[in-house]
Amino acid sequence: MTKGLRLVLFGPPGAGKGTQAQLLRERLNLTHISSGDLFRHHLGLGTPLGLRAKEYMNRGDLVPDEVTIDIILEKVMSIPSDGGFILDGFPRNPNQADVLDKKLAADSRDLDVVVHLKVSESELLNRLGGRYICRDCQSPHSIGEGEDTTDKKCDRCGAGLYQRDDDAPAAVMKRIEVYNEETTPLLGFYQQRGVLVEIPGDHSVDRVNKLIMTALNS
C-alpha cells in the first residue's frame, strides 16, 4: 500500500463501488475518479457530453466508448505520476481496459490492483431499490422499503437526496444484463495480468472494506 497506488474497483450495479471508493480515498489519500460522477457533472453544466450520456444512463445502457474514454483518460492523466487514484466505473469492457492499459504503460505507471466486488443478483436488486444519492456530493444512501424520503438529508454534507432514473426497477434489470454481457469479460483480462483480487460484496460496508484493506496490505 503506497502513496501512488493505482486501483480499479469494479462490480455490477449496486455492488457498492462508490461507497468503497470513498472509504479508500479517505484512508489512502487517493483521487477518486467516478465515470458516473463525471458524466453527471457534465450534465449539470449542460454540456453536449452530459446530455448524450443521459440518454444512455436513463435507459440503463452503458455510455458508448467514444463518449467515455477521452473524458476519463483526460482526468487520469492529469494526476501527477507519483499520485494514486481509484477508478470507479471504468473500464467497463475489454476495449476500454486495453486503451487504459496502453495509455498507462506509455506513461510508465501500470495498474497495481483491480478489485472485483462479487454480489448476488438478489442482493443487487434489494440495494438498488432503496438507493438514494446526495444532490451535492453524490454520496449513496440506503433507504428502507416504505421509509419516507421527503426530509432525508445526506449524512456527509446535509444536502437533499434523490433517486436516479437508472435505479428504477426496469432500468436496474437492464443494467445488470448489460453488465453481465459486456463487463464480466474483464475478469479474464485482469486475471491474466495478475492484478485481479476477488472480494465477496454481500457483507456489510465495514466488512467489505476490511476485506479490501487486507487484500491491499497483502
Alpha carbons 48 and 185: distance in angstroms, whole number: 30
Question: For this structure, is 17 an active site residue?
Answer: yes
Question: For this structure, is 59 an active site residue?
Answer: no
- What is the mean predicted confidence (pLDDT) over 79-97? 90
First-residue to last-residue Cα distance in the chain: 9
Amino acid 9: pLDDT = 94
pLDDT band, very low/low/confident/very high, at 50 (cuts 50, 70, 90): confident
Annotated domain spans of the chain: 6-213
Residue 199 has pLDDT above 90, yes or no: yes
Question: For this structure, is 118 an active site residue?
Answer: no
Q: How does the average pLDDT of the chain come out, rounded?
A: 87
Catalytic entry in 6, 25, 109, 131: 131
| SS3 of the chain: helix, strand, coil, percent, to 5 | 50, 15, 35
Catalytic entry in 52, 103, 164, 174: 164
Residue 25 has pLDDT above 70, yes or no: yes
- What is the mean predicted confidence (pLDDT) over 170-191? 86
pLDDT band, very low/low/confident/very high, at 129 (cuts 50, 70, 90): confident
Question: For this structure, is 92 an active site residue?
Answer: yes
Catalytic entry in 92, 118, 207, 210: 92
Q: Tell me the range of 34-48, 63-77, 135-149, 195-209 where mean pLDDT is highest.
A: 195-209
Residue 201 has pLDDT above 90, yes or no: yes
Q: Return the closest-CA partner of residue 154 out of 165, 166, 142, 167.
A: 142
Catalytic entry in 6, 17, 25, 40: 17
Amino acid 146: pLDDT = 61
Question: For this structure, is 27 an active site residue?
Answer: no
Q: Return the closest-CA partner of residue 76 out of 64, 66, 89, 63.
A: 89
The CATH code of the domain at 6-213 is 3.40.50.300
Locate all alpha helices (DSSP H) within the chain, ordered by sequence.
17-28, 35-45, 48-59, 65-77, 94-106, 121-129, 169-182, 186-192, 205-217
Alpha carbons 89 and 147: distance in angstroms, whole number: 29
Catalytic entry in 25, 40, 109, 175: 175
Q: And the C-alpha cell for 63?
A: 455510455
Amino acid 131: pLDDT = 80
